[in-house]
Structure 1
Amino acid sequence: MLTVDFNRFPVRPGDRVLDLGCGGGRHAFELYRRGAAVVAFDRDEAELAGVAGMFAAMRAEGEAPEGARAEAVAGDALALPFPDGSFDRVVAAEILEHIPDDTRAMAELFRVLRPGGIAAVTVPSWLPERVCWALSEEYHTVEGGHIRIYTRAELEAKLKAAGFRIGPHHHAHALHAPYWWIKCAVGVDADEHPAARLYHRLLVWDIMKRPWLTRSAERLLNPLIGKSVVVYLRRPPAPPRRGADKAAEGAGLAHAAA
């Protein structure tokens, strides 16, 4: 289940892409299939082991094109172990709402993205998340859980302050919002509750079959109750070097004199 729209976030074979806070690897696997050189990054080493295992299985089955590369790296989002400008693209999906010092994480994201590169940042949408917090204290007080609710304006303002140029946005996964409302109402861990189990079956059926009815319903509902908001960003290109400008100007004058 992808949150990022790859029509708005183009990835070409050979692009260096960081999946920051990759979790189970859903975006990292898609990036690998598209031929990128992927780094799946997370602090959860146990989950990363599963991601690395899936990368190996994909290689064995020929699911990634020739030249694609993938690795899993453990570390801290506040101190990324990569040089400045290491990546052409960065995905940060459903991670910032977990990090107390989110502005520092945004600064690190900006630092490792090359000038002119593109990032996709997703967080839980304000309204569906507010309903979850109202229904369940456990939902947002569990260790490692969500510690803040963003409005899109707040998220974009923080990203702009980090240096990004703000691009388009959209919402995703409207059909998943009611599932989490049910879970919050009956108990976050009550997976076997009849209501939660029945709705989960509906979501699995929708993901597997993608029928036009539910796909159309989700497109209509996404702006209202989409579980996630996705913002696309660009790091501004580096300004031309003054020496290079002078050299180009001198070459131009010489050419004109000739």
Structure 2
Amino acid sequence: MLTVDFDRFRVGPGDRVLDIGCGDGRHAYAAYKRGADVIAADLDDTALKDVRDMFANIAEAGEAPASASALTVRANALRLPFPDGAFNRVIVAETLEHIQADRAVLAEISRVLAPGGLVVATVPRWWPERICWLLSDEYHEVEGGHIRIYRRGELLGRLREAGLRPLGGHHAHALHSPYWWLKCAVGPDTDHRLCELYHRFLVWDIMRSPRPVRLAERVLNPVLGKSLVVYARKP
């Protein structure tokens, strides 16, 4: 399930891609399969091992060009262990909302991004996220949880402060908003039949990508999209 639109965020052979806060690695895998040289960075050693194993599986299956490379690095987004201008593509997906010093992270992104390079930042959209917070304190008041909700103008402002020029954006994952509202209503850690059934539907959609459902989500994304996605360039 990709939040970034790789038709807008073009990645291919010769591109040097950093995925900050890579988590389960979904965007790093997509960039690797497109032929880029990818570094997936995170602080979670378990997640990094899983990503490293998947990189190896992708290579073994021949799903990435032989010219591409993929590495994992344990790295703090506040102090990235890379030289200035090391990458021409940076992905920071569903990460900024977890970090108090988000301006410092964006400054580091700008530092390691080469002039003319592209960055894509994704965060939970304000109003669907606000409903989750209203329904449940457990949803966000956990260790490593969400500490802020961005409005679009706030995220654009943060990018500009870091010397990055926003190019546009969109919303994604409309079908996931009602699922999280339901989860928050019954309790995020509570097993509930409706949540289970909705989760099965989402997994089926991710695995099968049925055209009518994909079309419905594209239509609903401007209204219900769970994530805000913004693309920017370093001048």
Q: State the TM-score bracket (shorter-chain normalisation).
A: over 0.9
Residue of structure 2 in register with 1:227 after alignment: 226
Q: Distance in 1 between matches of 2:219 and 2:67?
A: 39
Normalising by structure 2, what TM-score? Answer: 0.98
Amino acid at match of 2:233: R
- 1:26 has 2:26 as partner: yes
Residue of structure 2 in register with 1:5 after alignment: 5
What is the identity percentage for the equivalent residue pairs of Structure 1 and Structure 2? 61
Residue of structure 1 in register with 2:40 after alignment: 40
- 1:165 has 2:165 as partner: yes
* 1:176-205 C-alpha deviation (Å, 9 max, x unpaired): 011111111111122x31011010011111
- 1:97-246 aligned at under 5 Å gives the runs 97-190=97-190, 192-236=191-235
How many residues are treated as equivalent by the alignment? Answer: 235
Larger radius of gyration: 1
Q: Distance in 2 between matches of 1:26 and 1:212?
A: 21
* 1:107-163 C-alpha deviation (Å, 9 max, x unpaired): 001100000000110000001100000000011100000000000000001110110
Secondary structure of the 1:223 match is helix
Alpha-carbon offset, residue 72 of structure 1: 0.4
* 1:46-91 C-alpha deviation (Å, 9 max, x unpaired): 1101100111111111111121000000010000000000001000
Q: Distance in 2 between matches of 1:219 and 1:37?
A: 30
Residue of structure 2 in register with 1:59 after alignment: 59
Which consecutive aligned stretches of 4+ in structure 1 deviate over 6 angstroms post-superposition?
Answer: none
Alpha-carbon offset, residue 215 of structure 1: 1.3
Is this contact kept in 1: 2:99–2:147, CA < 8 A?
yes
Unaligned runs of 5+ in 2: none
More displaced 10-residue stretch of structure 1: 50-59 or 203-212? 203-212
CA RMSD of aligned residues (A): 0.8
Residue of structure 1 in register with 2:85 after alignment: 85
